[in-house]
Amino acid sequence: MSVKERGLLIVLSGPSGVGKGTVRKALFSQPDIQLQYSISVTTRKPREGEVDGVDYFFKTREQFEQMIRQNELLEWAEYVGNYYGTPIDYVEKTLQEGKDVFLEIEVQGAMQVRKVFPEALFIFLAPPSLSELRKRIEMRGTESEDLIRDRLQAAKEELEMMDAYDYVVENDQVELACERIKAIVMAEHCRRERVAQRYKKMLEVE
């Protein structure tokens, strides 16, 4: 399979509460872009309304550690007391089918993905400010005061990593952030198409 035919791997990171899930849902509802969401595995307890196999695959720590041992994860990280990871089989199979795969993961995991898939597209979603980030995570109402504090502490470390990404997109408004990500993905497809054409021409000349 040529570089062009394989799907594009898109990695979206950003601090907890910045709006990754909200922007992703907006992006996935767009008719002119087709992305496949990679459902992560986690040891975190489900939030109200979260469904196993839709939002996450919810596992015990023992089950998760077994997945690590059996090399079933493309990447994994411990984030604020819980494990999170990306099942490798789904990502590989879907990319092979020529479909684009979308990962929504924190920064430690994203850096592991970069080592395995350096050609992936890395996008960091940034909040307009730290105070707005705090407001969003508090307004969501899914975490205790202690967990919000820990997630905001992690957010400061994550924001320092944004330079390691190919693009930084501000999530000031969901629709705008969604359009910006769409434009980045479409531009990357055009670039890959041109590289593939040039490569094909080169082979014809030889």
Ligand X SMILES: Nc1nc2c(ncn2[C@@H]2O[C@H](COP(=O)(O)O)[C@@H](O)[C@H]2O)c(=O)[nH]1
Ligand Y SMILES: Nc1ncnc2c1ncn2[C@@H]1O[C@H](COP(=O)(O)OP(=O)(O)OP(=O)(O)O)[C@@H](O)[C@H]1O
| 22 lies in the binding site for ligand Y (CB under 6 A) | yes
Q: Minimal distance in Å, beta carbon 69 to ligand Y?
A: 27
**Piece of 5-13, 82-90, 134-142, 180-188 that binds ligand Y (CB under 6 A):** 134-142
Q: Is position 17 annotated in a ligand binding site?
A: yes
Does the footprint of ligand Y cover residue 136 (CB under 6 A)? yes
Q: How far apart are CA 82 and CA 77, in angstroms?
A: 8
190 C-beta neighbours (distance < 10 Å), count: 9
Expressed in percent and rounded to 5, the helix, strand and coil fractions of the chain are 50, 20, 35
The interface mask with ligand X, positions 80-119, x = CB under 6 A, is: ----xxx-----------------xxx-xx----------
Q: Does 19 bind ligand X (CB under 6 A)?
A: no
**Which residue number places its CB atom closest to ligand Y?**
19
Check: CB of residue 177 under 8 Å from CB of residue 171. yes
Q: Could you tell me the smallest distance in angstroms from the CB atom of residue 152 to ligand Y?
A: 11
Instruction: Name the binder of 84 from ligand Y, ligand X, none, CB < 5-8 A by kind.
Output: ligand X
Beta-sheet strands, E only, within the chain: 9-13, 36-37, 41-42, 57-58, 73-79, 82-87, 101-104, 121-126, 167-170
80 belongs to the binding site for ligand Y (CB under 6 A): no
Q: Does 19 bind ligand Y (CB under 6 A)?
A: yes
Per the annotation, where are the binding residues for ATP?
A: 14-21
